[in-house]
Structures are given as structure tokens and as C-alpha cells.
Copies of this chain bind each other. A is one copy, B any other.
Amino acid sequence: MGEPQGVIGRLLEELAKLPGIGPKSAERIAHFLLAGDRSQATKLADALRAVADRVRPCRECFTLTDREVCEICSDPRRDAALLCVVETPRDVASFERAGSFRGLYHVLGGRLAPLDGVGPDRLTFAPLVDRVKRGGVREVILATSPTLEGDGTALYAADVLSGSGAAVTRLARGLPSGASLELANAQMLTDALQGRRAF
């Protein structure tokens, strides 16, 4: 390498844009990909392109998937009467890793942040209400982040779901307030699910 110009320089730039990757990590990764037969770089490029081209929101729950309806929504063993409302697809992944939830999800696509211009119309509240009103949903668990904006988002969800016939609960405050849900470990998530209470 030596010169940060040209195609290697461009790869370093792109790698350094990734979260948690600084210039030094980018260089280590680039040299790893440059060593040997390059098939690793090609496979990663193909995987990225496939994701960029084919991943989109699930028609039902809005988590990201390369199918029309995601694996979870199409799994007949999941309890379709139990809906866990989360902010992002990453939260779905966290719950799935914890392994303690066997219902379905609904991904809002973020949290309400009026000061940043994120109003209810930017999130998937309308499809959520439609989904619950279609019937068959016994309980909606609001699993937004334990933060001011997350709480506000849960409050709004509880409001639009009132009168829908489903019980609305929220996660127990076993989670440390102020931290992002992404940082919660499996045990925290499991505790929070088990301790959920009426909203």
C-alpha cells in the first residue's frame, strides 16, 4: 500500500465511514482483504450489493428482510396474538438473540422526535393500528427505548391503540434509563419482557 490514493485509498475512506471503524482499523481490514487471493473482498462486495439491492421492509412488521414477508412473520410457530412494538430492526435482532419472545414484532422505524421533525407520520403507527384492528392481537407490548423520546413514542402508541381491543403493556423498568435499547444484553431484555405491566 503506502499511498492512500487510488482504489485502496477509496476503500480506506469507505471503511472508515463504518461505525466503530477508525483509520487504523480501516487499514488493518484493508490489508487483511488485500492479502491472499482477494476472494474475501469479492465475497464481501457481493454480500453488500445483495443487501443494498434486495433488502426491504417486511410487508407485515417492517423489519428488514430479503423476502416479501419476513422469516418471523411467516413462522407458524410464533404467537401472532402477541405483538412487540420496537423502534428499529436492530431491536428485533436483540430480542431474537435473547430468545425469550415468541410473538411477532412491529417496527416503528424510529422514535418520535418533534424537534428533529420526526412526527407520527414518519413512523409506522398507521399500519400498526390497522394490524391490531384486523383482529387476533391479544396484547401489544410497547418495547421502545427507556428514554424521553422512547417513552413519548410509547405514550403515543398507547394512545392510538386505545379502543383497539388489545391490551397494551410496556416493558418493565429493569432497563437502565437513559441508555439506548441497543446496549441492553439478553438478560436485561428477558427481565424486561417478564416484568411487563399494564400501560
Point out residues on A near B: beta carbons under 8 Å: 1-8, 10-11, 13-15, 17-21, 25, 27-35, 38, 40-52, 54-55, 63-67, 70-72, 88-90, 92-93, 96, 105, 182
Contacts and interface: CB of A to CB of B under 8 A. Distances in A.
Q: Is the interface of A mostly helix, strand, loop or mixed?
A: helix
Given A6-B66, A19-B29, A52-B42, A1 B47 contact: no
B7 A47 contact: yes
Contacts of A33: 18, 48, 51-52
B15 A71 contact: no
12 contacts: A1-B92, A3-B65, A8-B65, A8-B66, A17-B40, A17-B44, A18-B32, A18-B33, A33-B52, A34-B55, A34-B64, A42-B49
A54 B7 contact: yes
B2 A65 contact: yes
A72 B8 CA distance: 14
